[in-house]
Amino acid sequence: MEGWFALALGGRAKHPLQADAVARILIIEDDPLIHQMVGGFLRRHGHAVSVAATGEAGLQLATALPPELILCDLNLPGLDGAGVVAAIRQDDRLAEVPVIFLSGATDRQLIRRSMNQGGDDFIAKPINLPEILEAITARLRRSGRQQRRKSRQLEQTATFITGILNNLGVGADIQWWSQSGEGKSDLPGPLMERVRQLLDPAAAAPPPAANDRLLLTEPNRRQYLPLSEVKLILANGEYSTVCWGESQQAMFRKPLKQWLQELPPAQFVRAHRSAIINLAFLNYLEQDAAGRHRVHLKACKHIIPVSQRTRSLFKRSLQQFATLRHPKGLNS
């Protein structure tokens, strides 16, 4: 298990004992047995779990796809738990993610110091699995309440500002200003965007679905396949194979380079020179001890390696896609 992690975008069915929604949980711990024991336990309770053996690897995972909760060992090789939390609290996207420390230490001063450094809870080793689940559930509920409160605050503030602008008759000017990016404002980005949407409801509407279709042609048959159902496109010489569903596929005389020009760049990304994947179907990302990444898609038999050449672009695309799916609230 050393050096291995799984990064889950999708959720799993809830365990009968779990009352709360599936959460993305990151475990930063150098003991592979804890990875296996705690990670397996949380997965059985429906959570999507990723693991890292070092503080540096944990920060990399957290940055690529922000978790909803972090379990972090205090005594890590290299960057320790305190350093991890300090870095997390300085990142706007991660600053409010709950962190539960794990440690075999019994020194009350060490425990208090770790909490003062930004930890939300402390669980002593040896680990008690029901205690971990109870602590995680409590922290996720509290975090959910905070996010809902911020969403309400954002909506109330945006509605108030929009009403003032409309009463002053300058809504259109403010809308242009916010879209152009030329203005200077102390308003948080999400709040400014929500004001713009309220001023122009059409701007908040989703794009038309007419372009979300792919024409499939076979002997004596023509049909349209929604692009949103395409999981994977594989290069095959001058041709390419489009994969969707459980095991359905069709071949086109079109190279991957042309596909990249036609597909939505926020959702379709090249993992290596012979494969384009739909990030909406990403199940988890696996990394071996040598640092090589492999992509597992939901209900797909193909395991796609991420090449060294495309790794940076793939990481940026994953971050952007995660941001679109999980936008932050007022303080983002």
Give me the pLDDT at residue 6, please: 34
Number of helices (H) and strands (E) in the chain: give both, helices first.
Answer: 10, 16
Cα distance between residue 89 and residue 206, in whole Å: 33
Contact 287, 293 (CB under 8 A): yes
282 by DSSP, 3-state: which? strand
pLDDT at position 210, please? 47
Q: Which pTM value belongs to this model?
A: 0.53
Going by C-alpha positions, the residue among 186, 183, 174, 164 that lies closest to residue 330 is: 186
∠ at Cα 143 (138, 146), nearest 5°?
130
Rounded Cα–Cα distance for residues 298 and 296 (Å):
7
What is the third-level CATH fold of 5-127?
Answer: Rossmann fold (3.40.50)
pLDDT in tens, the chain (332 residues): 333 233 333 333 333 334 345 788 999 999 989 888 999 999 888 888 888 989 999 998 888 888 999 999 988 888 888 889 989 988 888 888 999 988 876 666 766 776 777 788 888 888 889 999 999 999 888 888 888 888 888 888 888 877 777 766 655 455 444 444 444 445 566 777 777 777 766 545 444 444 566 666 545 445 567 878 899 999 987 788 889 887 788 888 888 888 888 888 888 999 998 999 998 888 887 777 777 888 888 888 888 999 988 888 888 888 777 766 655 443 33
Say if residues 11 and 284 touch (Cβ distance below 8 Å). no
Q: Helix %, strand %, coil % for the chain, to 5?
A: 40, 25, 35
Which strands form 303-306's sheet, in the order they lie side by side? 5-8, 282-287, 293-297, 303-306
Class of domain 209-325: mainly beta
214 forms beta bridges with: 225
State the virtual CA torsion across 324, 325, 329, 332 in degrees, nearest 10: -50
Position 146 scores a pLDDT of: 84
Residue 19 is predicted with a pLDDT of 38
Q: Which helix (H) or strand (E) holds 197?
A: helix 189-199
